[in-house]
Structure 1
Amino acid sequence: MIQFKNDFMTVFQSSLFQTTCTVIEGKDFVLVVDPNWLPTEIEEIQTFIAQIQGKKELFLLFTHGDFDHIIAYKAFPGAKVIGSKGLQQHPNKQQKVNLIHQFDNDYYIKRPYPIAFPEVDLVVEEDGQQIVIGDTTITFYLSPGHTHDGLFTIIEPLGIWIAGDYLSDFELPFIYDSAKAYVETLQKAVRVLETHTVSVLVPGHGQTTTSKEKMKRRIQNSQEYLESLISAVMKEDLEKMASMEKEMPFPSSFTKQCHEENIAIIRKEFLK
């Protein structure tokens, strides 16, 4: 379904995990970010792109290599792929592909395209790296923490910030890579807002926002959560850690596992 739309951007939202896919239409290009999840949802995105692309060049941007974000890579043949060096050199490519196959097998899903890990054509290696297409400038910032291969993407002059799996309106930080890196990425997010004129923020899961105050608050919420959890772990405050698990929206075995992994990574990094 379409969650958000303006003159140059359409955000689709999957029924699963409120995962977003952003389609941006520039004068000279169409950029598709993290197309996902279900075949009918991907078909809706494909149909939309076929209506707007014309002779414009098609780009695929993957914010990181989690399987839900790369699941429709092969649904857009001929597109140039943008990703971080961490994505290009991902150490667990086959595992991610296996997770897609497992998901499809679990739910008897057939896809009309092959499953593969993205092959990156345009590699982002450092903060501030840019791609210029006509009068559009796309600026990238490495955003490790959730995963090692994450990217923030700023598209100007449209004022779009694609945040990947950060800055959701409901989802608390999930740390799969590094708590210290996550803290630094949130500090980088503050600088992004100070450096760029951002008019719309799209998270990987949850609602798009055009409010600068909400963007700031989402950063603060993540910072406060991590500060509290790091403090609780360092003090071995089991009661506080247990209460913070209850703060996870949509409580489930999945969120319980994510909370436990957050604690395990913090222990590893801060209690050496």
Structure 2
Amino acid sequence: MVVAADGTCLVIDPAVTAPEVDGLAAAVRHRGWTPVAVWSTHAHWDHTLDGSGLTPLPRWSSGPSATDRETLAAERDADPELARSGEPAAPIAAPAVAYPARSSGVLDWAGPSVRVLSHAAHARPHSALVLPEHGVLVAGDMLSDVEIPLLDLSADDPVGDYLDALALLEAAQADVVVPGHGRVGGRDEIARRLGADRAYLAALVAGAETADDRLALPWTAAAHAEQRAAVGR
């Protein structure tokens, strides 16, 4: 959530389950904020959700996605983590459109300055938002302390794309990172996560074992096995 001085706000990747999305909208109303748009960092189902208070809002992204709503809904319904939560699923929102640009890579809106970093790691397209006045990087599904780098295995060079994106995020020189999954981190933690992600990718390409503690979760271990089969030697 990016909030302007007048209370207008930009909602980013709103929650996962229907109660969470509705609770977010209720919290926005309780604080007296006025949402003007919803930003999707990328078109995976858990970043494209809709719900009470959000449906009338425009949906912005760094570019159009080829994934349709039916496919996203099917992926949502097949997600084992959502099933285990026991919570009802939130609906898939209308497709996002390219954001209004004040200049190249700069969001045109009334709130704080927002720079848009577009890249091809994890999904195509994927974006991160930088608030240069506050030193904040909203990273989407990057720079997580709980998720390994999750590659877009349909890309021609998924590892190269991911490394390019890490360099782009590092160049933002943020003081705080807000990942889509995991905990907020400061400057030292950003450096640690960049190093951990690069070490993971180097081991993946070499076909070497890795001691990355993010592999402790069953689903990240399964994703790693799939990536190693596709990329590793």
Q: Scaled by the length of structure 1, what TM-score is found?
A: 0.71
Distance (Å, rounded) in 1 between the aligned partners of 2:172 and 2:230: 26
Check if 1:148 corresponds to 2:124.
Answer: yes
Check if 1:225 corresponds to 2:200.
Answer: yes
Distance (Å, rounded) in 1 between the aligned partners of 2:203 and 2:110: 45
Cα 1:89–1:73 change in 2 (3 A) is farther
- Contact 2:44 2:72 survives alignment (8 Å): yes
Match for residue 27 of structure 2? 48
Aligned length: 225
Check if 1:133 corresponds to 2:113.
Answer: no
Which residue, 17, 28, 52 being the options, matches 1:38?
A: 17
- Contact 2:11 2:35 survives alignment (8 Å): no
Cα 1:38–1:122 change in 2 (3 A) is same
Consecutive unaligned residues in structure 2, runs of 5 or more: none
Match for residue 138 of structure 2? 162
Cα 1:128–1:259 change in 2 (3 A) is farther
Q: If you compute each CA radius of gyration, which structure gives the higher value, 1 or 2?
A: 1
Distance (Å, rounded) in 2 between the aligned partners of 1:250 and 1:66: 23
What letter is aligned with 1:58? V
Match for residue 221 of structure 2? 256
Distance (Å, rounded) in 1 between the aligned partners of 2:139 and 2:195: 15
Match for residue 180 of structure 1? 160
Post-superposition shift, 1:30? 0.6
Identical aligned residues as a percent: 17
Post-superposition shift, 1:257? 2.7
Check if 1:98 corresponds to 2:74.
Answer: yes
- Contact 2:50 2:93 survives alignment (8 Å): no
Post-superposition shift, 1:90? 2.0
Distance (Å, rounded) in 1 between the aligned partners of 2:26 and 2:93: 23
Match for residue 27 of structure 1? 5
Give CA deviations for 1:36-61 in whole Å, capped at 9, x if unaligned: 2223222321111112345x452211
Post-superposition shift, 1:94? 2.3
Distance (Å, rounded) in 2 between the aligned partners of 1:101 and 1:135: 35
Cα 1:246–1:156 change in 2 (3 A) is closer
Post-superposition shift, 1:217? 1.6
What letter is aligned with 2:22? E
Distance (Å, rounded) in 2 between the aligned partners of 1:227 and 1:182: 11
What letter is aligned with 2:137? W
Distance (Å, rounded) in 2 between the aligned partners of 1:102 and 1:75: 26
Cα 1:69–1:57 change in 2 (3 A) is closer
SS, match of residue 125 in structure 2: coil
Cα 1:37–1:90 change in 2 (3 A) is same
Cα 1:245–1:70 change in 2 (3 A) is farther
Distance (Å, rounded) in 2 between the aligned partners of 1:214 and 1:205: 15
Q: Scaled by the length of structure 2, what TM-score is found?
A: 0.82
Post-superposition shift, 1:130? 0.9
Cα 1:143–1:80 change in 2 (3 A) is same
Post-superposition shift, 1:165? 0.8
Post-superposition shift, 1:119? 2.2
Cα 1:261–1:117 change in 2 (3 A) is farther
- Contact 1:80 1:122 survives alignment (8 Å): no
SS, match of residue 133 in structure 1: coil
Give CA deviations for 1:183-235 in whole Å, capped at 9, x if unaligned: 11111122121xxxx332101111112x2121112111111111122122xxx
Consecutive unaligned residues in structure 1, runs of 5 or more: 1-22, 233-239
- Contact 2:99 2:107 survives alignment (8 Å): no
Cα 1:26–1:135 change in 2 (3 A) is closer
Give CA deviations for 1:93-115 in whole Å, capped at 9, x if unaligned: 4221212244599566546x7x2
- Contact 1:74 1:116 survives alignment (8 Å): no
Which residue, 196, 207, 210 being the options, matches 2:183?
A: 207
